[in-house]
Structure 1
């Protein structure tokens, strides 16, 4: 295994942390990580997710400016972590979320991605929405890759980009593919993303697997290029953990490439995005999802309208505009103390 080396790109220095093997190894490396962080003499330390909570406390104890950034609602998200024994998941959710709350009282700023978390942190958190980073989504590299990935085909192309796991509804999306094909529409599915819990081997026995092209984990630009060549993107996630409240970055990415979608009818998603870029379905009702995909595939004019509306939405909601929240946090913390 090659040891990562320090590198620099676009004015950013990438410094590898202490090597660790497995989850327990990551816990054991935290003191070394704290020492390494101190040697770097940062003006602000921006730490992500619960594994860094002890480091955040250590840095604050030593008088540093610290941002704690939590990307998920861990009061619910740990309920779908398969590596945690089921009887321990609920206590783990409580313990982690309570610790996050206590740490938010001592760090200089807390960033969250879901509106409900602002209240959960007692109003001491700043909402930084999960806007897509799309600076390169319409660039020349993506256009060239899209041309390379284009297909001479007489079938419809569905697509899902994201982690592959049962908690994210991958079984249901294959069920939808099977239903679409059973309705007489020749369709194939691109699956792009990491095999989070070893589910791919089991999926190979699914009746629709012969119509699946599993591409594994792809870089951002490659994923955008595949989106540009698909007909419908799917995000039919079950209503578990915090899925219904988490901003769906994959939908924003689909819209950026003019890809209409079929997605779970979660009120937070639908109220924010609206009804002009895709179809919303009850993830528990297979027939509803199959019907939505079939109708969308059979209506190219509707797909085009959805594509145009989605791209217009992304012109107004993207990381390039949302990043100002983060930059303002940095400006506030790097100003004079007191």
Structure 2
């Protein structure tokens, strides 16, 4: 099949879109294209990336949509897979007029996500909330299939459409087990790592504060910088910028502990944290916010430590304790890697996605 993925919101190295879903379909033998904001066309993991212009949020709604759908039409797809809520109306129209199946991919709970957007005030979020619900209803009523990142999000969509069964499939953001080589973290220097968007809601200042309290320790950060650069410019911070997913395993492998501290926001408390899985896949223990859902998901693995990230001094204590005990880190890391091998790898998720696509073709 010729499958076209489209996003006007996500960056062109998005791990879920490029390195997981598109890659899985290409490896299964399908012709996969991705239309997305990028600097230039390229081929990655057998996926043909078609660059559209990067635009501001306001200009994206019209300019990027027009350019993106024009490229999709030129590719004459057998199936279209969209990744942004704002693409739903045009996606439904395209699917109807061209007679091709449409998949909507819900990366996050859109309604809850609105409360985490720093550029939306509470009043604006309340005004937009009905629009978000209407978009999701439009997708629910018209898409041939829905793909979601969590079971909680999947439960918000209907398993039927027009009286017939309609697939709603959870494809979790797990790591490819084969991409990560297990390291002996006991031999690693006193280094903590975080990979992902750098925002205050994702603990940017907290991580910097904690590493400054740990003598002779370094914090390696890799991801989009969405806070002022002055927030992370410290002697103990090594900022690598936004890197391709293929470089993340090597960056993680150099650390003794992986960090993830999120604020207690509705969209985060029931999320599935990709970073924790990636740390575990490398044999690196995690230090993470003690969300109840995370403790339930990861607690039995004993691959890391949970902490109240609303208490900065508790975070400092736990981070110093891990950095000071390389043998404990190594044991936690071994347990985490074992859990990935047995339960938490994308290989199984890829099978679900490929199976879904092939039932629609």
Shift of residue 71, structure 1, vs aligned partner: 0.6
Q: Which residue of 2 aligns with 1:137?
A: 180
Distance of 1:9 and 1:215 partners within structure 2? 21
Q: Which residue of 2 aligns with 1:200?
A: 229
Shift of residue 296, structure 1, vs aligned partner: 1.8
Q: How many residues align?
A: 312
**In structure 2, do the counterparts of structure 1 residues 86 and 270 end up closer, same or farther at CA, with 3 Å as the change threshold?**
same
Shift of residue 186, structure 1, vs aligned partner: 2.9
> Residue by residue, what CA displacement relative to the aligned partner does 1:108-161 show, whole Å, maximum 9, x if unpaired?
00111122112222446321111123443339xxx9xx9xxx9x99x6211111
Distance of 2:103 and 2:83 partners within structure 1? 8
**In structure 2, do the counterparts of structure 1 residues 134 and 122 end up closer, same or farther at CA, with 3 Å as the change threshold?**
same
TM-score, length basis structure 2: 0.78
**In structure 2, do the counterparts of structure 1 residues 169 and 7 end up closer, same or farther at CA, with 3 Å as the change threshold?**
closer
Residues 1:163 and 2:197 aligned together: yes
Residues 1:44 and 2:71 aligned together: no
Equivalence map 1:25-64=2 (5 Å): 25-29=59-63, 30-62=65-97, 63-64=99-100
Misfit runs of 4+, over 6 Å = none
Shift of residue 267, structure 1, vs aligned partner: 2.1
Contact 2:205 2:232 in 1 (8 A): yes
Shift of residue 233, structure 1, vs aligned partner: 1.0
Shift of residue 328, structure 1, vs aligned partner: 1.3
Shift of residue 16, structure 1, vs aligned partner: 2.8
Distance of 1:5 and 1:238 partners within structure 2? 35
Contact 2:177 2:341 in 1 (8 A): no
**In structure 2, do the counterparts of structure 1 residues 42 and 231 end up closer, same or farther at CA, with 3 Å as the change threshold?**
same
| Aligned-partner SS, 1:72 | coil
Equivalence map 1:1-338=2 (5 Å): 6-8=41-43, 10-17=45-52, 19=53, 21-29=55-63, 30-62=65-97, 63-123=99-159, 125-138=168-181, 156-179=190-213, 181=214, 185-196=215-226, 198-204=227-233, 209-275=234-300, 276-316=302-342, 317-334=344-361
Q: CA RMSD in A?
A: 2.6
Shift of residue 203, structure 1, vs aligned partner: 4.0
TM-score, length basis structure 1: 0.83
Contact 2:289 2:307 in 1 (8 A): yes
Shift of residue 54, structure 1, vs aligned partner: 2.2
Shift of residue 266, structure 1, vs aligned partner: 1.3
Distance of 1:20 and 1:105 partners within structure 2? 31
Q: Which residue of 1 aligns with 2:3?
A: none
> Residue by residue, what CA displacement relative to the aligned partner does 1:233-285 show, whole Å, maximum 9, x if unpaired?
11111112411111111111111111111001112222222251000111212
Distance of 2:192 and 2:263 partners within structure 1? 19
**In structure 2, do the counterparts of structure 1 residues 156 and 320 end up closer, same or farther at CA, with 3 Å as the change threshold?**
same
Note the residue ranges of structure 2 that are not aligned, 5 or more in a row: 1-37, 161-167
Note the residue ranges of structure 1 that are not aligned, 5 or more in a row: none
